[in-house]
Amino acid sequence: MKNATVGYAGLQFSFAEMQREIENLRLLAEPFLEVASFERVLPAWIDQLAHAKNQHGNVRRRWEISATDPIKTILSDGRYEPKGRAGNLRVYGAVSGVWEIEVQRPGKKKPPQTFLLNGMATTQIRLWKQSDEGEEEVARWTVEVGCGDSPGCHFHTQITLDDADRKFPKGLSVPRLPTFIHTPMDALDFVLGEIFQEEWFQECSKGRDPVKLWTRCQRNRFTQLFRWHLETSETASFSPWLTLKRSKPTGLFV
């Protein structure tokens, strides 16, 4: 994604809601995550957000899960296929990404309650295969949120292969496929649901508090996002798709 464009305020998120979302999915996903991801990577990522909130003055910074130290799942031994079928690959998922966020303090003594997402916003998902020969990357895609001058649908996903793959070369930034998942935790939820088809569904069907709190956070965001899509489509004076493609939501998630 390109840098923020003057004139586009960006998407607004609640600090408390985002921290609640991350922590509850972390607790919910514990059996499916590597120990280091559960105990260190995700808590450190939450701490980055808390640090941005507590800094003096207006702040613009990168909120990042490093590609060299991503959130990793445990190994899925063919469990990416539905019940009754077994895949022949042993794979695990890795999630990393960068959000460029802006924090505007309402006053010297009053802490900010929200932050803006108005620059780079990309979450990378990679699947790695393990075999007797070692590890091999077998899939890669990104979940993107547009900035002010991004050309695709504001919420989209892209396949991100290298030129050596001879399909979707790096220099070709299309297609930008519309999506409704947009936060890194949405991406992690998606990956777990893909490579642990039955187990993740069963875990999310339990009545535990992390399930309820994570569900509430995601439902609130999805409801607002779907409402924006519906209202934008209903007021379109030409192709609803092209109207959505060129529309930039502001605020939205608080």
Give pLDDT tens digits along the chain (254 positions): 334 445 678 899 999 999 999 999 999 999 999 999 999 999 999 999 999 998 887 889 999 999 999 999 999 999 998 876 778 889 999 999 999 999 988 777 788 999 999 889 999 999 999 988 889 998 899 999 988 788 778 888 888 666 566 666 676 677 888 888 899 999 999 999 999 999 999 999 988 899 999 999 999 999 999 999 999 999 999 999 999 998 888 877 87
pLDDT at residue number 211: 92
Q: Which residues are CB-neighbours of 242 under 8 A, at least 6 positions away? A: none
In a domain, 4, yes or no: no
Q: Which residues are CB-neighbours of 189 under 8 A, at least 6 positions away? A: 25, 181, 218
Distance CA 47, CA 42 (A): 9
In a domain, 21, yes or no: yes
Distance CA 31, CA 141 (A): 24
pLDDT at residue number 4: 43
Distance CA 140, CA 39 (A): 25
Residue length of the chain? 254
In a domain, 6, yes or no: no
DSSP code of residue 33: B
Distance CA 81, CA 98 (A): 30
What is the domain count for the chain?
Answer: 1
Q: Provide the whole-model pTM.
A: 0.87
Q: Which residues are CB-neighbours of 214 under 8 A, at least 6 positions away? A: 21, 24, 25, 28
pLDDT at residue number 172: 66
pLDDT at residue number 105: 82
- How do beta strands 114-131 and 90-103 pair? antiparallel
pLDDT at residue number 116: 94
In a domain, 2, yes or no: no
In a domain, 5, yes or no: no
pLDDT at residue number 154: 87
CA distances from 143 to 130, 154, 241 (A): 24, 11, 19
Domain that includes residue 196, residue range: 11-231+240-253
- How do beta strands 251-253 and 155-159 pair? unpaired
In a domain, 155, yes or no: yes
Residue where the block lists tokens 């930039």: 248
Rounded (10°) angle between helices 197-204 and 209-234: 100
* CA nearest to 249, candidates 185, 182, 184: 182
* CA nearest to 135, candidates 81, 77, 91, 72: 91
Number of H helices, E strands in the chain: 7, 10
Assigned token pair, 90: 């042993």
In a domain, 1, yes or no: no
